[in-house]
Chains A and B, each alone.
Chain A
Amino acid sequence: MVERVYIFKRFERFWHWAQAALIMFLLLTGFEIHGTYSNFGFERAVEFHTIAAWSLVGLWTFAVFWHLTTGEWKQYIPTTQRVTEMVRFYAFGIFKGEAHPFKQTVLSKHNPLQRLAYLGVLLVMNPLIWTSGWFLLFYGSWASWGFPNLSLELVATAHVIGAFMILLFLIVHVYLTTTGHTPLAHIKAMITGWEEKH
């Protein structure tokens, strides 16, 4: 019998997948607004992008509340311990079939590299995409907010840079889900909440 740990709570799993869907939809509609390709048409792309953005705002309101009340926010406190080990594992160990150097527990579900990555998300990516996005949502109010001369080009470009960062994050994040003891182990855990211990 394989030992199992209940890592991801029900809300956490809902948050994760809802957010995943919204972010991918935002990327799709966002790049259409950017003029990269055409699918919904500009007007509907803007409308859908706006709806998805507000949905994400709503989701985040709950997520922030949940993290604060459950104390789960501590999971994101960064650490530099054993980072080198992690890097060495992904660069070499993984190919030799070595065991993952990090053991997930309920109290510590993110490995040190993950913690650093999420710190980057919180400190760079989110402020960039949300600040610029918030301004774009309220494009009509810049003057009344005291920014009559704010350049749309600047704000839009910042938003695009943010979007590309999210795209890069997404690629790496999705790939790293396959690095569990089986390729689908992490994804299974994110669906059921249970991670098998090996």
Chain B
Amino acid sequence: MLRTRSAVALFAGALLGAVLTVTNLAQATVAPQAKPSTTADHSKFKELQKQFKTGPEVTKACLVCHTEAAKQVHRTKHWTWEFINTEKNQKLGKKNVLNNFCISIPQNQQYCTNCHVGYGWKDKNFDFTSEENVDCLVCHDTTLTYVKQPGMAGHVVGEEMEFPKGSGKILKPINLSKIAQGVGKSSRETCGNCHFFGGGGDGVKHGDLDSSLFAPEKDVDVHMAVDGLNFNCGTCHQTSSHDVPGSRYTPTAKDKGGAQIRGKSEGENPATCVACHDTKPHKAEKSKHAARLNVHAEKLACQTCHIPAFARGGVATKMSWDWSTAGQMDAEGKPIVKKDDHGNTLYESRKGDFVVAENVKPEYYWFNGGITYTLLGDKIEKGDKPVGINKIEGSATDGKSMIWPFKVSRGKQPYDPENHTLITPHTTGPKSGGGYWTNYDWDRAARQGMADAGAPFSGKIDFVSTEMYWPIAHMVAPKDKSVGCAECHAKDGRLAGIKGIYIPGRDANPLIDKAAWLLALLTLLGVLGHAAIRIFASKKH
């Protein structure tokens, strides 16, 4: 193979030589090889030169050299799916929070833990101290062939097997030794395989994270553009000791730290815009309004102007999920699936009605990074206002807030009208398991889901409107595509609902305006009247 390549190169070189000068020929044939980014070639490691049948076998081999790696991973949210928000005194993390998409995890672990960085989390007895159950490959695969099979609690198929058992479906194995020998840094692909598909499908949950970011154009994401800066996730989410910075539970709403300097930025979030661009990012040589825009940057998150819309890469995001309409069947009693022209599901008997959208203008709110979740067991009231699955905090005056763009996912989901709590239904799994997606039986799904969660259930089910706030931080557009002045400096602009600041073009003192225009009108009438009398009087003379 190598020989053929050099032969081709020589041939090409000879061809070029016919037209180019000798110097150019020399350059063309002796092109320097790209430096490898690592000092270790894992394919040369004895530990990895064998057939692996399971994921944990590979992990054990990794740990021979990377002795502390599993312990590091054990401390992360990626492993625990738990996060303690000390400020709000709430136990959060994927394991504990609810959302208004698939609602919650504990009842549906075998499926959801497909995105856990571990092997075998199928129920609450999972051993979180097990080192061999850490999944190294899901983040470090470079071959793009590593696949975790849904329904197998995060396990991979190392040998040919029938799954589900008795179904007659045979799953082909993946080549674990090839994958293990090829390990490297995490990539857009490894991160994206879970994070681009949050909420159970491409782009469903976040709106600013979807498969278009695997290889975006500049217009979709100016940093990740393959024809531009070509960032991967880790370029901003700069990770050390397996701690990936950037949190959805305690986001950095206002980064006062400025650009990060080596030795001076310990413990600061490196994933903010400010971490690179500083707090006065607009430069006079590049923008005619630099000073003015830098003042804007004191109140507006960079994202507010620089992400004009989310879901810009051609993948629709789910804006609303109404569980209350689930369960309708066609004339023959069979489940229904309705799709739009682009293949997006609009109704599914298993799930209810969806609203999907592309190129969505965000909603804007003051945000200081404070988020409180409505957790299972928290009392809720069904009223005129939707229940906030999470509630964001912020104001014009607290000194910590910026105006941020949000995706707000809205919907209706089951709740217990007697206990006044949300319900975590069991959805996934085989028919015998009682999941809603196979049985279409809310009572059974709720009863079982609540029992699994150890939460009381009155037996009554109603549906309540909910909303959930997702700060938008990805899909930064090129600067010429950022939000223009007039989109906010207008009466019904993007910031129409933002209180506590004066926006020229949007705001005016109505009393002064009215009085002054009246006065101007009276003055005009006055001089016109004066003129009329003059004309009339001159004719009389």
Contacts and interface: CB of A to CB of B under 8 A. Distances in A.
Interface of A: 33-35, 41-43, 46-47, 90, 94-97, 138-141, 151-153, 156-157, 160-161, 164, 167-168, 171-172, 175, 178
B173 to A, nearest CB: 59
B507 interface: yes
Nearest to A96: B537
B516 interface: yes
B502 A171 contact: no
Contact of A175 (B291, B520, B531, B538): B531
Contact of B519 (A42, A156, A168): A168
A41 B534 contact: no
Contact of B502 (A43, A90, A152): A152
Contacts of A164: 512, 516-517, 519-520
A178 B533 CA distance: 13
Contact of B512 (A94, A141, A157, A167): A157
B523 A172 contact: yes
Contacts of B124: none
A161 B527 contact: no
The 6 closest A-B pairs by CB, nearest first: A140-B291, A153-B502, A175-B527, A164-B516, A42-B486, A95-B537
Interface in B278-317: 288, 291-292, 294-295
B34 interface: no
A29 to B, nearest CB: 12
Contacts of A33: 489, 504-505
B530 interface: yes
Contact of B507 (A43, A153, A171): A153
B520 A157 contact: no
In this complex, the interface size class of chain B, counting residues with CB under 8 Å from chain A, is: 35 or more
Interface of A is mostly: helix
A94 B505 contact: no
Interface string B496-532: 0000011011111100110011011001100100110
Contacts of B517: 164
A90 B482 CA distance: 56
A175 B485 CA distance: 37
B484 interface: yes
Nearest to A90: B530
Contacts of B292: 139-140
A175 B504 CA distance: 31
B491 interface: yes
A160 B534 CA distance: 33
Given A94-B534, A139-B292, A35 B527 contact: no
B529 to A, nearest CB: 11
Contact of A160 (B512, B527, B531): B512
Contacts of B524: 171
Contacts of B531: 175, 178
A47 B502 CA distance: 19
13 contacts: A33-B505, A35-B508, A96-B541, A138-B291, A140-B291, A152-B501, A156-B502, A160-B513, A161-B512, A164-B516, A164-B517, A164-B519, A171-B523
B490 interface: yes
A42 B502 contact: no
A47 B491 CA distance: 20
Contacts of B486: 41-43
B294 A140 contact: yes
Contacts of A41: 485-486
A141 B520 CA distance: 34
Contacts of B507: 35, 153, 156
A32 B491 CA distance: 12
A46 B508 contact: no
Contacts of A34: 504-505, 508
B527 A171 contact: yes
Contacts of B295: 139-140
Nearest to B519: A168
A141 B291 CA distance: 8
B512 A43 contact: no
A100 B490 CA distance: 49
Contacts of A160: 508-509, 512-513, 516
B336 to A, nearest CB: 47
Contacts of B491: 35
